Amino acid sequence: MATMEAANAEEVHLRHVETDVLIPKMMREKAKERCVEKVEAFNLCCKDSGFFMVFKCREENAALKECLTVHYRDPVFFEECKQEYIQEKLEFLKTGIPSKNRKQKLPTSM
């Protein structure tokens, strides 16, 4: 028997902008986290190369693009991000509080 949240997640209708823009945006952010070593290597190369980064950092850029593309094309990864997006949307509908505000820490002194 499915939980109430799982049942609600199945019933959520996603708009075109959600499936084509917002979920892919989430995927890009999460893919950067999964490719953090490649992102850092590319950033370091660019920082050290200055103006010549286009020529000097081709290898790091190619490795970063390959890592990101693997995630962008992974249907399982898309589904994970989609389900996370749906849960955030359901939580927003329930509470009226956007996820970025829910994740902020409350001040310790009042």
Q: Which residues contact 88 (CB under 8 A, 6 or more apart)?
A: 99
**Domain annotation covers residue 2:** no
**Domain annotation covers residue 7:** no
* 16-36 pLDDT, tens digit each: 999 999 999 999 999 999 999
Q: Could you give the dihedral angle defined by the CA atoms of residues 86, 92, 95 and 97, in that order, rounded to the nearest 10 degrees?
A: 140
DSSP symbols for 34-62: HTHHHHHHHHHHHHHHGGGHHHHTHHHHH
C-alpha gyration radius of the chain: 19
Q: What is the pLDDT of residue 1?
A: 37
* 64-96 pLDDT, tens digit each: 999 999 999 999 999 999 999 999 999 988 888
Domain that holds residue 71: 16-97
- Tally of domains in the chain: 1
Could you give the CA distance from residue 109 to residue 46 in angstroms, rounded to a whole number? Answer: 42
pTM of the model: 0.71
